[in-house]
Amino acid sequence: MEPTSIMSLVERVPDEASAYLLLEEMRWGDTPVCPHCGSERVYFLNPANGATRKTTRGTMSPRRVWKCGACRKQFSVTTGTIFHGTKIPLRKWILVVFEMCASKNGVAAREIERKYDLTNKSAWYMLHRIREAMQQQPMMGLLSGDVVADETWIGGAPKNKHGKGPGKGSTDKQPVVSLVDVRTGEVRSQVVPNVTSRTIGRVIEEHVDMVNTVLHTDSAPVYRTIAPLMAGHQTTNHFLGEYVGRTGSTTNRAEGFFSQLKRSLDGTHHHVSVEHLHRYLGEFDYRYNTCKLSDGQRMAHLMGRTKRRLSLYPTGY
């Protein structure tokens, strides 16, 4: 059963051994699977008492180790996942994952640092590993039916720049494009280098079944090139104060997502670098797409997507 609150989760994982048992339940259910070859012909190796085992250094470790009968390799529930190679207790990982799933506005690394007695570097890296699991899965399929497309810019206002050097008065905000499926409510956001017809067209071609999709946008000219390739194109003219078109077309779904995204980035993180913006978009996309799930269900769903590794930085934090 999924935890319903942070308190119920704390009661369920009072120690490190319980954290391994909970993660095994969420990832494997009743059937452990070898992460190396995918075989289900595995057997439990140690610790024999199910709680602790003595390592080669003489210390006691609660890490539960399995062995595959097919490839003969040893593994644990963290092998090949975002938890792989970490020195942070798994119990802390599980609690932080729940907070990431339950916090609508996201969680800052500084907050995790204070609450869980970690260094800022460790907290920051933990959150980025979790965001990696939240990223959109490859080959998710194309959006179809009615799809809303809109763009926004993330970053500070040019007037807030200091000095009178180059760039004063210009904008260095990062453009972001989001596509929202009207029927399913799924949103897909992507960082783009610029807002041109070619760039926007490539994003739509990558994520949308154009032959079977009616595109809903504002009156921006960047959509005119891709519009003839769609099954239909309906627009809303914001310059005329129009927010719902004559045919009922609107971009309000994307505008609502942008509103939540910007408030959260400004209020929780204050600043997000362009280098990592795509990870934050993946995080907010994931929570938006699973908004109908409870916090515990969202956590259980995310645990099934943790078989990823964040390779930009060394492991072991």
Return the pLDDT at 280: 96
Return the pLDDT at 160: 60
Residue 201: pLDDT above 80? yes
Return the pLDDT at 45: 87
Q: Exposure of 117 by Cβ count < 10 A (0-12 exposed, 13-18 middle, 19+ buried)?
A: exposed
Residue with the larger pLDDT of the pair 4 and 241: 4
CA distance 66 to 31: 12
Q: Provide the whole-model pTM.
A: 0.86
Domain assignments of the chain as residue spans, ordered by start: 6-134+296-303, 143-272
Residue 150: pLDDT above 50? yes
The amino acid sitting at 222 is: V
Residue 71: pLDDT above 80? yes
Return the pLDDT at 242: 82
Give the pLDDT confidence of 46-66 residue by residue, as tens digits: 775 556 555 555 566 788 899
Q: Are residues 75 and 35 in contact, defined by beta-carbon separation less than 8 angstroms? A: yes
Residue 311: pLDDT above 80? no
Residue 314: pLDDT above 50? no
Q: Which CATH class is domain 143-272?
A: alpha beta
Q: What is the dihedral of CA 79, 82, 86, 90, to 10 degrees?
A: -90
Give the pLDDT confidence of 256-281 residue by residue, as tens digits: 999 999 999 999 999 899 999 999 99
